[in-house]
Chain A
Amino acid sequence: AQTVTQSQPEMSVQEAETVTLSCTYDTSENNYYLFWYKQPPSRQMILVIRQEAYKQQNATENRFSVNFQKAAKSFSLKISDSQLGDTAMYFCAFSNYQLIWGAGTKLIIKP
């Protein structure tokens, strides 16, 4: 069965610091997508970044970047220059034929 594991239930960092959220997954598939979603206190689910498994280059969206290690089945999210507005739950998701979700990491950015 395909699973997604986020081993950090909660993290907190100071504003402007860099933080990395971990995600590992288990699959025997070769073609899949990976996503990070953000859920701020408003509870809206927002797509942060996506990575296609066949692409070796790590995806980047402004201050958000991923470290995709296909062999290790690892997909971490790095947030640079963190801002107060980055405070949210972050969910990692694996997609093949269905979207499989991790349990989430609560990230708190302190002023």
Chain B
Amino acid sequence: DSGVTQTPKHLITATGQRVTLRCSPRSGDLSVYWYQQSLDQGLQFLIQYYNGEERAKGNILERFSAQQFPDLHSELNLSSLELGDSALYFCASSPSGLALNEQYFGPGTRLTVT
């Protein structure tokens, strides 16, 4: 158990809909990272937040947005969903804002868009 929690575990929704994925980092960790992993693919970095502020942006679509709240939990919002958005979405956390520290991953949210 990494100490990072993600909810929900599974999500099935229709095209065009909007969903919110939630992540709680390990106690004391200030950075949250979001990744997308499609079937049999590597990890695609989406976005990083550090202590409430956006720190780095990766290949995140304009239909996707994220935020980190004062209690450090983070939410990833996916809107106008398409079939291709079906994937495993991971949240990871680390103590600092720099990626020099290892990242600890949550169990992921499996999103299926039908």
Chain A residues with CB under 8 Å of chain B are 32-33, 35, 37, 43-47, 50, 91, 95-99, 101-104
Contacts A91-B42, A98-B56; A47 near B99 (Cβ below 8 A)? no
A96 with B43: CB separation less than 8 A: no
CB proximity to A under 8 Å, residues B58-114: 58, 88, 90, 92, 98-105, 107-108, 110
In whole Å, how far is B60's beta carbon from the nearest beta carbon of chain A? Answer: 13
**B88 to chain A: closest residue by CB:** A43
CB proximity to A under 8 Å, residues B17-59: 33, 37, 42-43, 45, 48, 56, 58
A101 with B56: CB separation less than 8 A: no
Residues of B within 8 A of A95 (CB): 99-102
B107 with A99: CB separation less than 8 A: no
Pairs A–B under 8 Å by Cβ, sample size 23: A32-B100, A33-B100, A35-B102, A37-B105, A43-B107, A43-B108, A43-B110, A44-B107, A45-B43, A45-B90, A45-B105, A46-B105, A47-B102, A50-B102, A95-B100, A95-B101, A95-B102, A96-B99, A97-B98, A98-B56, A99-B45, A99-B99, A102-B42
New A-B pairs, 11, CB < 8 Å, besides A91-B43, A99-B45: A33-B102, A35-B102, A37-B105, A43-B37, A45-B43, A47-B102, A47-B103, A47-B104, A91-B42, A98-B58, A103-B42
Residues of B within 8 A of A98 (CB): 45, 48, 56, 58, 99
B42 with A104: CB separation less than 8 A: yes
B92 with A101: CB separation less than 8 A: no
Interface size class on chain B is 20 to 34
Chain B residues with CB under 8 Å of chain A are 2, 33, 37, 42-43, 45, 48, 56, 58, 88, 90, 92, 98-105, 107-108, 110
A100 to B100, CA, bound (A): 11
A35 to B37, CA, bound (A): 18
Residues of A within 8 A of B2 (CB): 46
**A49 to chain B: closest residue by CB:** B102
A37 to B37, CA, bound (A): 14
A48 to B94, CA, bound (A): 16
